[in-house]
């Protein structure tokens, strides 16, 4: 936190003296860029990041290398980027957890609304309620009944407090009025390995991580957390169709840079992000995995800033009502 503030003050003084890094920004990027994913490799955030990074690299002419920094529901990776040099060579790709962690954690190692610059929104991914393939319940109503009856032995996987899987699991437990045993992982990539291996019973995870396992028959799916059915999973009912009303949650993702990163650099990154989101390969891979790119207007610094600030206020009363906190 102190380092980040010193950096911000120095950057402001440099900007005031006209040293806004213009030369550096003009030539940027001149070396590979690190894109931190605050969850383990092989999960949904990693999948989105690698697709977008590969396309942005082509436009920027420098490699964007994805670096997985898992732990503490995504807050360790976010903290790493908050403390990095604001030179455009360290980015963060994070999701709704950026907003929920601001409410869930009593003391975060960074100031969510003052430690980052914004590049833009990337995509909003649906979630699915999934289970090990031999889990007894046949449908969502059966799952809810089974979980209520067996609440002391059923295990619910997530990626730690602040993860999307944690948020969805918390909402599910609030809806059914039960507190279950949760099994935390550094990402739903490793959680999925255990779900396929029948080491854990069920979880709520993003279609970017569950679609292929569902289609391959490796896991059972009960519902999506969307208003309408997901085109790539046409036979999967929405939670409402399956009997669980008002259970909609979309996992939006954004790209951030450390506070003090010159606006000319974040603008160049946003332009590359917008191009990547129109890349036919990215659009197709997103569609195959149940999601779609954010719009051009959303993939801007203002679009992400608006989303983050509104989502913190949206989830504050929900999390407070659920009485869930982390220190
Ligand atoms: C991941 O990438 O592992 C997931 O986003 C974790 C989560 O948020 O549930």
Q: Where are the domains of the chain?
A: 29-125+250-322, 126-224
In this prediction, residue 10 carries a pLDDT of 59
How far apart are the C-alpha atoms of 203 and 221, rounded to whole Å?
A: 10
3-state DSSP assignment of residue 246: coil
List residues near ligand 1 (CB under 6 A). Answer: 39-40, 43-46, 95, 97, 159, 163-165, 187-189
Whether pLDDT at 40 is above 80 = yes
Whether pLDDT at 154 is above 90 = yes
The per-residue pLDDT for range 183-230, each reduced to its tens digit, is 999 999 999 999 999 999 999 999 999 999 999 999 999 999 999 999
CATH 3.40.190.10 fits 126-224, yes or no: yes
In this prediction, residue 125 carries a pLDDT of 98
Cis peptide before 269 (omega within 30 of 0): no
In this prediction, residue 67 carries a pLDDT of 98
In this prediction, residue 327 carries a pLDDT of 81
Helix (H) or strand (E) holding 253: strand 251-258
Q: How far is the CA of 93 from the centre of ligand 1 (A)?
A: 11
The per-residue pLDDT for range 87-135, each reduced to its tens digit, is 999 999 999 999 999 999 999 999 999 999 999 999 999 999 999 999 9
Structure confidence at residue 13 as a pLDDT band (50, 70, 90): low
Structure confidence at residue 9 as a pLDDT band (50, 70, 90): low
Q: How far is the CA of 6 from the centre of ligand 1 (A)?
A: 32
Comparing CA positions, the residue from 86, 84, 89, 117 lying closest to residue 30 is 89
Nearest CA owner, ligand 1 atom 3: 187
Best residue for ligand 1 mutational test, from 101, 124, 183, 187 (most atoms within 8 Å of Cβ): 187
126-224 shares the fold of 29-125+250-322: yes
Mean pLDDT of the chain: 94
29-125+250-322: CATH superfamily: Bordetella uptake gene, domain 1 (3.40.190.150)
Residue 184 φ then ψ, to 5°: -85, 145
Structure confidence at residue 25 as a pLDDT band (50, 70, 90): confident
Structure confidence at residue 20 as a pLDDT band (50, 70, 90): very low
Q: Which long-range contacts (CB under 8 A, 24 or more apart) does 317-326 make?
A: 318/171, 319/100, 319/103, 319/104, 319/170, 320/103, 321/174, 322/170, 322/171, 322/174, 324/104, 324/161, 324/170, 325/104, 325/105, 325/106, 326/72, 326/73, 326/104, 326/105, 326/106, 326/161, 326/162
Structure confidence at residue 158 as a pLDDT band (50, 70, 90): very high
Whether pLDDT at 19 is above 70 = no
The per-residue pLDDT for range 237-265, each reduced to its tens digit, is 999 999 999 999 999 999 999 999 999 99
pTM of the predicted protein model: 0.92
In this prediction, residue 17 carries a pLDDT of 47
Whether pLDDT at 23 is above 90 = no
Structure confidence at residue 163 as a pLDDT band (50, 70, 90): very high
How far apart are the C-alpha atoms of 71 and 167, rounded to whole Å?
A: 16
């Amino acid at each position: 936190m102190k380092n980040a503030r010193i950096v911000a003050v120095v950057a402001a003084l440099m900007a005031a003296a006209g040293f806004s890094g213009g030369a550096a920004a003009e030539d940027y990027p001149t070396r590979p860029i690190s894109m931190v994913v605050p969850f383990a490799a092989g999960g949904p955030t990693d999948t989105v990041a690698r697709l977008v990074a590969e396309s942005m690299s082509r436009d920027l002419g420098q490699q964007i290398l994805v670096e997985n920094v898992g732990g503490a529901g995504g807050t360790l990776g976010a903290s790493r980027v908050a403390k990095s040099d604001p030179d455009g060579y360290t980015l963060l790709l994070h999701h709704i957890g950026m907003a929920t962690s601001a409410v869930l954690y009593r003391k975060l190692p960074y100031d969510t609304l003052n430690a980052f610059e914004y590049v833009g929104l990337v995509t909003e991914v649906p979630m699915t309620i999934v289970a090990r393939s031999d889990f007894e319940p046949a449908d969502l109503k059966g799952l809810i009944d089974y979980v209520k009856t067996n609440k002391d032995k059923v295990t619910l996987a997530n990626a730690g407090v602040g993860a999307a899987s944690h948020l969805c699991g918390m909402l599910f437990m609030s809806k059914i009025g039960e507190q279950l045993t949760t099994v935390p992982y550094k990402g739903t990539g490793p959680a999925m390995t255990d779900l396929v291996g029948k080491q854990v019973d069920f979880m709520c995870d993003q279609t970017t991580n569950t679609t292929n396992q569902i289609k391959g028959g490796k896991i059972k799916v009960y519902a999506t957390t969307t208003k309408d059915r997901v085109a790539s999973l046409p036979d999967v009912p929405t939670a409402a169709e399956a009997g669980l009303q008002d259970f909609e949650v979309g996992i939006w993702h954004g790209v951030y840079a450390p506070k003090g990163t010159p606006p000319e650099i974040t603008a160049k990154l946003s332009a590359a992000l917008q191009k990547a989101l129109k890349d036919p390969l990215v659009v197709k891979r997103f569609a195959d995995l149940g999601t779609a790119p954010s719009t051009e207007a959303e993939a801007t610094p203002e679009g992400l800033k608006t989303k983050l600030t509104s989502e913190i206020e949206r989830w504050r009363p929900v999390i407070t009502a659920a009485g869930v906190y982390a220190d």
